[in-house]
Amino acid sequence: MTDSMQQTLETLERQGNLRRLPRLTHKGRFVETDGKELLNLSSNDYLGLAADRNLRAEFLESLTPDSFLPSASSSRLLTGNYAISEQLENALATLFGSEAALVFNSGYHANTGLIPAITDSQTLILADKLIHASLIDGIRLSEARSIRYRHNDLNQLERLVARYASEYERILIVTESIFSMDGDEADLPRLVSLRRSYADKVWLYVDEAHAFGVRGKQGLGCAEEKGCTHDIDFLVGTFGKAAASVGAYIVCRKVVRDFLVNRVRPFIFTTALPPVNLMWTHFIVQRLPQMADRREHLSSLATLLRTSLQMQGLSTCSTSHIIPILAGSSTEATRLARQLQRYGFYVLPIRPPTVPEGTSRLRISLTANITQEEMQAFLTLLTDQHSPTKTNCEHL
């Protein structure tokens, strides 16, 4: 048995795709590895909240041995439904102006649970080619037929909807708002107008994992930014990135929430999140609307990096704080990442199966606690290393 595992590991190693758990010590916006401190350009702590010691100190002041409950000890439907679970859901519903919200243990739980629950054999799922693994796994668990449309190709999507609308009771369109690996965005207004033109036939499912906290006036995501939160049937986001916590939410109609409580298996058959964690998430979520300064700083860092890459002839499809630099092969992506690490920047290679074969890349993910000076030093490194005869990332 272990022989075949060993062989698999050797194959992965040869392809440059072997993964190992990194040993890191976190020091605010830096990580320490092999005794060296590097600026973390690979974190999803987009607003810099997880690294903010003052925020943690403020939260800790509110805790007592009675309120510090480290475990829910049960599923929500048994004895794990604490007052804080519903306080958080009510706070989310109020912020979004929605009828209801429901919290899940993670984005992975949410996506793998929701999609099979809301679809059946009479449903056709139309999903963007580059959606996250958790959405793909949710689709795999569903009884519905699914077709993947070319990434962000809404012309193709419209053709597919027109072609299949009469054959299925329902069509579920599944997309992310900001895509996790490319940092580009779905055209939400156009998706909403497609949904509208098919009345009740087409439902829209949007995963805002990388936009929650970061986009919109109150930090509620791209749907808030585009003014279409109420036109999305299943609006999902996660707490593990900009909200510096763990878990996920859906904001939806009350009838949908009641249905999900009865049907989502990763909601029903798992121990609920610890109350102390829900308290922390609630603490953060209530402060998100006031964090416009962090959002603006993040956005200006991202514009600076994207513009600089473009000026060096390195095209990027990103329109956000997630900025990939394509390397092609996994070995090349790994080599480039090591090179940047040597110069003090913790950048990681992203390889298959996370991204399609041949599109290995460096994924730079910016956070609001990076200073302009640090960004400038990173840009100088990219520029200094640049040789005009080479293309893409070969110059590093």
Residue 330 binds to ligand PMP (criterion: CB under 6 A): no
Cβ–Cβ < 8 Å for 113, 104: yes
Among 238, 245, 330, 365, binds ligand PMP (CB under 6 A): 238
| H-helix segments, 275-371 | 275-287, 292-311, 330-342
The SS3 assignment for 208 reads coil
Interface residue with ligand PMP, options 76, 132, 226, 363 (CB under 6 A): 132
241 is catalytic: yes
Residues 202 and 194 sit within 8 Å (Cβ to Cβ): yes
Of residues 339 through 358, those in contact with ligand PMP by CB under 6 A are none
Point out the catalytic residue in the list 182, 185, 207, 233: 207
- Out of 213, 216, 240, 274, which residue is the one contacting ligand PMP (CB under 6 A)? 240
Strand partners, 326: 361
Candidates 109, 210, 226, 297; catalytic one: 210
Least Å distance, CB 107 to ligand PMP, is 2
Q: Which two tokens stand for residue 145?
A: 């037929």
Q: Is 107 in the site for ligand PMP (CB under 6 A)?
A: yes
Quick one: DSSP state of residue 122?
Answer: T
Place of tokens 């994924």: 363
Does position 248 bind ligand PMP by CB under 6 A?
yes
How far is residue 21's CA from residue 218's CA, in Å, rounded to a whole number? 35
- Applying CB under 6 A, the site for ligand PMP has a residue count of 13
Positive or negative torsion for Cα 182, 303, 31, 58: negative
Q: Based on the shown chain and the rule CB under 6 A, indicate whether residue 42 belongs to the binding site for ligand PMP.
A: no
- Residue 246 or 377: the one with the smaller Cβ distance to ligand PMP is 246
Closest to ligand PMP by CB, 233 vs 332, is: 233
- Of all helices (H) and strands (E), which one includes residue 111? helix 107-118
* Segment contacting ligand PMP by CB under 6 A, of 17-25, 106-114, 277-285, 382-390: 106-114
Judged by CB, which is closer to ligand PMP: 48, or 240? Answer: 240
Indicate if 386 belongs to the active site.
no
Determine whether 207 is an active site residue. yes
Which residues pair with residue 147 across a beta bridge?
A: 126
Round to whole Å and give the CA distance between 332 and 315: 18
* Tokens coding 229: 């939160």
Residues acting as catalytic residues = 44, 132, 176, 180, 207, 210, 241
Interface with ligand PMP (CB under 6 A): 106-108, 111, 132, 134, 176, 180, 207, 209, 238, 240, 248
